[in-house]
Structure formats: structure tokens, C-alpha cells
Amino acid sequence: MTAKLKIVSPGMLASLQDKGRFGYSGFGVPRSGAIDPVSLRLGNALVGNDPFETAIEFRFMGPTIKAQSGSLRVALACHVGGELIDAQSGDKTPISPWQTVTLNEGDVLKVDPMSKGATGYLAIEGGLALDPVLDSCSTYARAHMGGLLQVGDILSLKQAASVRGYERLMADPVPLSEEPFNVIFGPQEDYFAEETVQSFLMNAFKVSSDVDRMGIRLEGNALFPKPEKGSDLISDGLVAGAIQVPGNGHPIILCVDCQSVGGYPKVATIISADLHRLGQLTPGKEIKFKAVDLEQAGASRQLLESKIEKSINSIHDYYGEGAVDLKALYASNLIGGVVDAQKPGLFPGHLEDLS
């Protein structure tokens, strides 16, 4: 029987995302894909999938899903937990962040509203049975490539759940960082006076309420270009992480659903190792920027990959908070010796004295 899951409640802005569409920006098609690809990778690792298998991405408020038919195993990849509601008994079991859980037919998984960060993922063991569009199953709602998940949607799985227990990342997953975002200046740094560039680095900006997968508008000290340059230029290519400065002087950080070309000057671009952090920014958050060079950007990328590898290597059977690790218990030598109650002077290691 094909396993299926039902969207009981989509939470907020829930969609299907994978690595994204590469190679189509020349046709005006955004890359899309996971806004926090690191969390997607960790979620997929928890259930044994390929790193960028399609998962359910949600923003700010978690979804509620039900095992409509068959059983399914999912990983909750975010900084918030939830609860499993057993279909037979009605019992509710707390589910921790970065944990797997198996839903038998009729069971419901309810993800809590997010108290930390902005984006989470439900990775499903084996993946969803989907038809790619332009080599990707990522939702790009503005062009009707897929759509936001709705109440009652039914998603078929490629396979039913394997017979496995809970697992969890035991090492701290890549944390929510308070460090400045590392940037490389350009490609239109020359549009701005030196004091404007220094203001960009020295002052904090606040994330506005205008935040989505296309871009993040910032509030703070306005950045105005040199009078002879102006705020308009011949449209050129855009990438996620580029920091545009429109005519009002308030920067916009472009995200994964950004357009492929634009006509505002870009003072700097966030390095690839920091792009995943954009997915966790919430309105009101204060952020700063730090200039780095290509060598430092490369070193940051290597450090990020080592953190991801450490997290993946920490995946371990999980029995709940305070529970005994049964696998470790069974693998241990539980008996180091014996004693004779009638010969209290003996202790383990003196077995030869027993008669």
C-alpha cells in the first residue's frame, strides 16, 4: 500500500522545497529551493535521504500532518518541537527538535509555533512522489510552479516507513548565529562614497516586517549613492545574497525566490556560507555586516561543511529526555565480577578465591 500524508493544517507559508532550479536564470526563472539548505540537509540525513530530497518547508508557524494511509517516518528539522498524537490511544508524546518520529496510520504530528528562528522542515523518509518541473520539485508560487500547501492536501510517498526507532542529532546543530553576516563588496560598491560604505559596516540594521522568500527589507541608516551615479543602472544579473539599495536608501537582501535581473546598485553580496542564515531572520531582528575577502569566504565555507558533517555524525538513537539508551546498555559489559555474600572480604576480580 502506498503511504500518504495529509495536511491537517499547513501552518504558515508551507511549501515543498529541494535544492532548487539551477541553470534557468537566463530564462528569468528564479532558483527557489530551500531558504535554509543546511536545515534541509540535516533533516534529510536524519531519515537517511539524499541531502536535498524534497521536504515540507514552513515559516514561523509549524504544520500539522496526519498519516493518511500506511506509515511514514519524518524528521523535525528546526529549533522547535511538537507532539505526536496516537490514533489508537489518543496519547500525546512530546517530540524534540531535530528528531525523527514514525507515524502509523491515523497518527497526527503537530509542530509547535516557532519561538526561535523563522524556518523549519519536515523531511520524509524516502521522499515524496512528485513530478519535477524544470529539474526541481521546489515550489515557486509566483509562477504557479506548485503552490503553498493547503488544508486537506494529500501527498504520496515513494515508500512506507522502515521499522526504526527515534533518532536525533545529539551534537548541537548549526546554531542560530548572532555574528555579523560576512559580505564581499560589489559589484557596484563604486556607486557609494567611502563614508557610506563605512556606515554600512558600522551600523546595525533592523529586519523589517516585509520579509519573504524573495527578499528581506532592512530599516536603519539610509545608504544613498553618489549624486553622479544615482540609484538606477542598466539591469544586470542577481543572485541570492545580493544587497540591493533602491532609491529610498534602505537595503534589500535578495533571497532564493529573487528575480534574475535588477536595476538597483548592489553594495555587497553575502557569502555562500552565510546564506542559510537568511532563512532564520525574523522581523525586528538586528543584524550587522562584516567585509571579508575570497580567501576568508572559502575558509568560512569549509568551516560550515565541517559543522554539518559533525552534526550528521552525531545522529544517534533517541529514547526521550532522561530515558536510558538501550542500545548502549545492551552493548556494555554489565558484569565486572561476582561476590559471595558469605565471604564479604571478596570483591570482583578475586573469583579464584571462591569455592
* Tens digits of residue pLDDT in 302-314: 999 999 999 999 9
Instruction: Tell me, yes or no, whether 95 and 243 share the same domain.
Output: no
Instruction: Tell me, yes or no, whether 210 and 127 share the same domain.
Output: no
Asked whether the whole model's pTM tops 0.85, one would answer yes
114 within a domain of the structure (yes/no): yes
Instruction: Tell me, yes or no, whether 133 and 239 share the same domain.
Output: no
Instruction: Tell me, yes or no, whether 158 and 204 share the same domain.
Output: no
Distance (Å, whole) CA 125 – CA 75:
8
Q: Read off the CATH number of the domain in which 262 is found.
A: 2.40.100.10
Structural element, H or E, at residue 300: helix 294-313
* pLDDT digits 0-9 by tens, 227-262: 998 888 888 999 999 999 999 999 999 999 999 999
Domain boundary among 292, 321, 347: 292
341 within a domain of the structure (yes/no): no
* pLDDT digits 0-9 by tens, 73-104: 999 999 999 999 999 999 999 999 999 999 99
339 within a domain of the structure (yes/no): no
Instruction: Tell me, yes or no, whether 105 and 192 share the same domain.
Output: no
Which range marks the domain in which residue 97 is found? 4-169
Domain boundary among 273, 292, 311: 292
pLDDT at 199 over 60: yes
Cell of 104: 502509523
Backbone conformation region of residue 281, classed left if phi is above 0, alpha if psi is from -120 to 50, else beta:
beta
pLDDT at 47 over 50: yes
pLDDT at 342 over 90: no
Exposure string over 296-318, b if 16+ CB within 10 A, otherwise e: ebeebeeebeebbeebbeebeeb
Distance (Å, whole) CA 29 – CA 24:
5
46 within a domain of the structure (yes/no): yes
Q: Who has greater pLDDT, 163 or 298?
A: 298
18 within a domain of the structure (yes/no): yes
User: Number of folded domains in the chain?
Assistant: 2
268 within a domain of the structure (yes/no): yes
Instruction: Tell me, yes or no, whether 143 and 219 share the same domain.
Output: no
Parallel/antiparallel/unpaired status of strands 181-185 and 266-270: antiparallel
Cell of 261: 535581473
353 within a domain of the structure (yes/no): no
